[in-house]
Structure 1
Amino acid sequence: MKLYIKNMVCNRCKMVVKTEFEKLGFNPISVQLGEVELVQDQLSNAQNETIKGALSKFGFELLLDKKKQLIEQIKTAIIELVHYQNEPLKSNLSDYLSKKLNAEYAYLSAIFSEMEQNTIEKYFIQQKIEKAKELLTYGEHSLSEIAFQLNYSSVAHLSAQFKKISGQTPSQYKQNHDLGRKTLDEI
């Protein structure tokens, strides 16, 4: 069975969640961003509550509601795409999500907008801007390289979205980079 975990957005998170499940006597088959697969077909209410308690100490949330699980799957797919893949997206976002989650994009979009008061596209852009902030902070890439890496058509397009989301230009951010970075689960 698969369990969906909110706020599990990095490799360190995966390690913490895996350790907590093992402490509770569950040996996960796999632990991925936002998802834990167990051998068990079903968990009792008491087991769910125990898992919830153990995870909440670390800021994670066990998601039992189907809509919340779907939202977390969408967010996880976007986070993986933006922050953990080294190749640009080969198709458009709607096709990528539909294929990855095996659901119609219109359905995914409607549920996401209803639950998050945000669109999938805006969430995707917010994640890309956070990745741009990270890359600007490190100072190892030019703005042109960052635009290419994040699959922007031009530096001007990246700069315009950066300003719209963060309230400052990439150059201004680079000078004051201690202002405005968010953790992935805050977006």
Structure 2
Amino acid sequence: MVTLFIKNMVCNRCVMVVQNELEKLGISFVSIKLGEVTLENDLSIKEKEVLEQNLTAIGFRLIDSKKKQVIEQIKNLIIDLVHYQDTSLKHNLSELLSKELQFDYNYLSNLFSEEENTTIEKYFIAQKIEKVKELLAYDELSLSEIAQRLNYSSVAYLSNQFKKVTGLTPNHFKNLKEEKRKPLDNL
């Protein structure tokens, strides 16, 4: 089995699009998840070129560099944790990343900072703030419920972090008419 890492594959719709592309090209796969495709067999050079061209045409990119693959895994784990898991974080983020990726957190942190010009913590906060924006836009949960769902220690802490990142209070953001959310792959 061979694992391919794909940049910008950050949502379930992305997974479906990549799956359709693989099926269209007749490429057998074992599994697909955010940012990763596990294939039954290695691709020929020609198959890889065609896949890369097709993925690029729809906004994705194959990642060959081992360092960039690790970065993409970090991003996808954080995106999955913040946007798609309904459970609160049982371990701290550094423990989770180290356990999942089988690397020392200091290595992961340094690599991420070098390659992305931001820290893992700032990336995690940016994802959480985007999730807060989404939940505020849906207007189904109170700020207290949002704080609890995203594992904030208090509403005040969430509000302070939200204002620090966006320049707006959560209530002011909620009252805005124009769209202020960013696509996940642009964070």
| TM-score, with structure 1 as normaliser | 0.97
**Counterpart residue number, 2:72:** 72
- AA matched with 2:26: G
Alpha-carbon distance in 2 for matches of 1:36, 1:82 = 21
Is the Cα contact below 8 Å between 1:173 and 1:179 reproduced in 2? no
How many residues are aligned here? 186
Percent identity over the alignment is 59
**Counterpart residue number, 1:13:** 14
Alpha-carbon distance in 2 for matches of 1:62, 1:165 = 31
**Counterpart residue number, 1:29:** 30
Please list every run of 5 or more consecutive structure 1 residues that lacks an aligned counterpart in the other structure.
none
Please list every run of 5 or more consecutive structure 2 residues that lacks an aligned counterpart in the other structure.
none
Alpha-carbon distance in 2 for matches of 1:168, 1:46 = 50
Q: Compute the displacement of 1:177 (Å).
A: 5.2
Map residues 46-57 of structure 1 onto 2, 5 A cutoff: 46-57=46-57
Give the match's secondary structure for 2:6.
strand
**Counterpart residue number, 2:140:** 140
**Counterpart residue number, 1:163:** 163
**Counterpart residue number, 2:124:** 124
**Counterpart residue number, 1:111:** 111
- AA matched with 2:104: E
- AA matched with 2:34: L
- AA matched with 2:156: A
Alpha-carbon distance in 1 for matches of 2:77, 2:174 = 28
Alpha-carbon distance in 2 for matches of 1:177, 1:48 = 45
CA spacing shift, 1:52–1:158, aligned 2, 3 Å: same
Root-mean-square deviation (CA, aligned residues, Å) is 1.0
Listed one character per residue, the Cα deviations across residues 110-142 of structure 1 (whole Å, up to 9, x for unaligned) are: 110000000000000000000000000000000
| TM-score, with structure 2 as normaliser | 0.97
Listed one character per residue, the Cα deviations across residues 76-133 of structure 1 (whole Å, up to 9, x for unaligned) are: 0000100011010001000010001111100111110000000000000000000000
**Counterpart residue number, 2:5:** 4
Give the match's secondary structure for 1:29.
strand
Give runs of ≥4 in structure 1 deviating > 6 Å: none
Alpha-carbon distance in 2 for matches of 1:155, 1:178 = 24
Give the match's secondary structure for 2:127.
helix
**Counterpart residue number, 1:176:** 176
Q: Is 1:152 the counterpart of 2:152 in the alignment? A: yes
**Counterpart residue number, 2:45:** 45
Alpha-carbon distance in 1 for matches of 2:180, 2:63 = 29
- AA matched with 1:118: T
